[in-house]
Amino acid sequence: MIEIRSGVVLPSIREEITLVTEDHLRLVGELALPVSGDPAATLITLHPLPTAGGFMDSHILRKAANRLPALAQLAVLRFNTRGTASPQGTSEGSFGEGITERHDVDAALAFAHARGLTNIWLVGWSFGTELALKYGANKDIEGVILLSPPLHRTSEAELATWANNGKRVIALVPELDDYLVPEQAKERFKAIPQLELVAVDDAKHLWVGESATKSVLNEIVKAVNPAAYPLPETYEG
């Protein structure tokens, strides 16, 4: 029996992948799949701001890949956006201020569809939420899960493209966030009537600590594969 703790890595099928963008850049990534059976859902993760240290191994995204294939039968696709480096390698190109990253999101979605992955969700964290909101509304996805959305780069017009578009929009907003707290989020997201706002007590923008990690991963699983919710505290396999 394995206790689910910070550094645990549970069994999955891991594959180093390369995404190729429409503007001919090669992006470093990884796909983690359940050891057996088809995934119940697919998470395409979009990392925090690379100029502030965000990358595909940012801890919530790494822990999602380390745990959720085994605990919740999920596929987890992580990648470095253009110009971003991590232990897996460096993606080609340079930071595009959230504009040219449109092609990065498209490349990840194209890869997932080509692999036959289904029930696809975009899971963005901080800067990654901006990419999800700006470029996901008209894509073949189930919805978006937004972790600590700052709403710095997403315009009111872009938010309005989500209104009643048939896709779920779930925002996990820390009580103690540095940029957007729950009460502010209610006002800023009012253009999206189907918004599901989850205010997380005592949490901060970076979701530091195992308690915060478990809260985030549980909310993700609750949305995309409720049969696996709540996540267990131990693993036997």
pLDDT per position as a tens digit, 201-229:
999 999 999 999 999 999 999 999 999 99
Q: Beta strand 195-200 with 89-90: parallel, antiparallel or unpaired?
A: unpaired
Whole-model pTM: value is: 0.98
**Structure token digits, residue 73:** 């039968």
pLDDT at residue 50, as a whole number = 98
User: If you count them, how many residues does the chain have?
Assistant: 237
Match 């470093």 to its residue by tokens: 28
- Phi/psi zone of residue 91: left (φ > 0), alpha (ψ -120 to 50 degrees), beta? beta
pLDDT range class, residue 32, cuts 50, 70, 90? very high
**Structure token digits, residue 224:** 């995309």
Q: What are the tens digits of pLDDT across the range 42-70?
A: 999 999 999 999 999 999 999 999 999 99
Domain with 33 in it: 2-235
20 - beta bridge partners?
Answer: 26
Instruction: Report the alpha-carbon distance of residue 40 to residue 28 in Å, rounded.
Output: 24
CATH number of 227's domain:
3.40.50.1820
Backbone angles phi, psi at 50, to 5 degrees: -65, -30
**Structure token digits, residue 43:** 């998470």
Instruction: Please state the domain count of the chain.
Output: 1
Neighbours of 172 (CB within 10 A): 28
| Percent of the chain scoring above 70 in pLDDT | 100
**Structure token digits, residue 114:** 């080509």
Among residues 81, 77, 79, the alpha carbon closest in space to that of 97 is found at 81
Asked if residue 237 has pLDDT above 90, the reply is: no
Q: In the chain, what is the straight-line distance between the N-terminal and C-terminal CA atoms, in Å?
A: 8
Among residues 172, 170, 174, 232, the alpha carbon closest in space to that of 208 is found at 174
Q: What are the tens digits of pLDDT across the range 164-186?
A: 999 999 999 999 999 999 999 99
Burial-class residue 6 by CB neighbours within 10 Å (0-12, 13-18, 19+).
Answer: exposed
Asked if residue 139 has pLDDT above 90, the reply is: yes
Instruction: Report the alpha-carbon distance of residue 112 to residue 124 in Å, rounded.
Output: 16
**Structure token digits, residue 34:** 């359940």
